[in-house]
Amino acid sequence: RYVPARDFYGRDRILAVVEDADGVGVSLAPPEAAMTAAEAGPSASIVVVDVARRDDAPVLTVSDAAVRVPAAGVVAVAMRAGLSVADVDAEADATAVTVTMTVDTGSLRARVPVAGVAVSGQTDGDVVDADDAVTANAPQVRDFGRSLALVGSVAAVNAALAGVTRLGDGIVEYHAPAGEAGETAMTVTVTNVAGLVDDAVVVVDISPTPRPPRVALPSSLVLGPTGLPAPMAATEDVESYVPGVSIVHPDDDGVLALAMSVEVRYGTFRMDEAALRVVAMAPADAPAADAELTSLSVEGALADINLALASLSFLPADDFVGRDRLTIATWVVVDDDDGSGDADGAAAAPERDVRVVEIDVAAVNDAPTVVVPGALEAVEDEWVSVEGVTVADVDAGETWAATLTVDVTATHGTMRLSRTAGLHNGDGAAAAGSGGVGGVSRALEGELESTDMAAPSHARGHDAAGGAGGAGGAPMKRAA
């Protein structure tokens, strides 16, 4: 009995050898390819066998696992299902195979054109041929309704089934309907030129769209029934706790992953996000813990997010006075059950809830500043110019309107102001100036000679000139 090798067709040869009484009997063995009966010897014969070709059916491979996709989401269904085609005859003869996919609900779409593959489908009863609508320079996503056919070589069709773009989108995709959930089926068939067929069913599991979470503000931050934000009180240069902000979600089961972003316009905030996965933060090089941030995006379980919000505090920018705003947003993360971050299907942009906490930063009267030069050298009985004395007050500003009082004293000498426009000053051991910040600074700085000090007769050694000043309102002094 002779059985050809798997998928072999063509001419085969059988060599039969008859041994005498001194041999081992009769044996059959494959002859050398070029051996003739004469070469084999008088006790041998060759049987020629012509193996006729028979068309083999194509083979369709598919994963047993269901393909998951959120409602109204899109998934690279062919790639996720592990679809692939094999056909030894089509590969040997370079003939085409046809793969047809049909879904019970939703629609199939493809990014056309597909290299080496003709794409067609059935949309509202009309046959759609992708090649009629696009060129290689104008690829686009086409919706082919509930039926999609790919025709091409085995290699080209397999490349289309497994293909994804550089952004992770599938060449062949399934678009789930909105408002539906549960399992549906995609039937796949492959047919070769001999009309032989293989088929398989892909289970598609459509998950329901979760309801969006909400940002909840305490009553102290809401203006009654209007729901509008009520300003939170803060103090200049002082860190303030932001009370009572939380995230609520009606469908929370302890497993659902949520996302939250926090950002502030002018100041910074702190929040203990150690239990959360940080997606982005600014500044990007902020330390891992207790950082002052301007924005933060995190993902995690509802309980962990609320634990982080319980530590939320706000710090105004240096010397900032006025209204700032803290914006908090939250949404559901579409993800795998294993939390790997590799979602089976891309859902439509999740619905976000955004709330704003208005923050009124009240002013604090900052002390003025005085800058003085280093030690000076003076000659007995002569005036010396004291250059480089400046004053500033962040609350009064560097204007001429705000009032600033400066007292300049010397321990062993006499002081005078050479520029006195708009100021009240006097000679003697002390010189006093009162006027706008800009005017006082100009009088003290001058161009060459601003504040002069004369050493008394017969004085030797070190002397010191001191100054103190304050702005209008509750006086605050700074000495130098």
Q: What are the tens digits of pLDDT across the range 391-442?
A: 877 776 544 456 777 777 777 777 777 666 656 554 444 444 455 555 555 5
The per-residue pLDDT for 480 is 52
Per-residue pLDDT, 440: 55
C-alpha atoms less than 13 angstroms from C-alpha of 158 in its C-beta half-sphere? 13
Asked if 472 and 396 touch (Cβ cutoff 8 Å), the reply is yes
- Residues 262-284: b if buried by 16+ CB within 10 A, e if exposed: bbbeebbbbbebeebeeeebeee
pLDDT for res 446: 39
pLDDT of residue 52: 80
Rounded distance between C-alpha atoms, residue 477 and residue 475, angstroms: 7
| pLDDT of the residue at 334 | 60
Beta pairing partners, 268: 315
Q: How large is the greatest C-alpha to C-alpha distance in the chain, in angstroms?
A: 150
Number of C-beta neighbours around residue 12 at 10 A? 16
Q: For residue 15, what are the contacts with CB-CB under 8 A and spacing of at least 6? A: 28, 29, 30, 31, 35, 40, 44, 45, 46, 47
**Contact (Cβ atoms closer than 8 angstroms) between residue 2 and residue 30:** no
Q: What confidence score (pLDDT) does residue 132 get?
A: 47
Name the one residue in this structure whose structure tokens are 């789930």. Answer: 176
- Residue 172 and residue 82: Cα distance in Å, rounded? 12
Q: Do 52 and 8 contact (CB within 8 A), yes or no?
A: no
Where is 38: in which H helix or E strand?
A: helix 37-40
Give per-residue pLDDT as tens, 102-152.
999 999 998 888 888 989 887 544 444 545 444 445 567 888 889 999 999
pLDDT for 373: 83
Give the torsion sign (CA, 134, 139, 143, 144): positive
Q: What are phi and psi of 280, to 5 degrees?
A: -160, 155
Helix (H, G, I), strand (E, B) or coil at 98: strand
Residue 231: which of 218, 240, 241, 222 has the closest Cα? 222
In the prediction, which pLDDT does 236 show?
93
Residue type, 222: V
Q: How far apart are CA 196 and CA 180, in angstroms?
A: 36
Q: What is the rounded radius of gyration, in angstroms, for the C-alpha atoms of the chain?
A: 43
Q: Can you list the residues of the chain whose pLDDT is less than 50? A: 24-29, 31, 33-34, 124-128, 130, 132-136, 335-347, 398-400, 426-433, 445-452, 457, 459-461, 471-474, 476-478
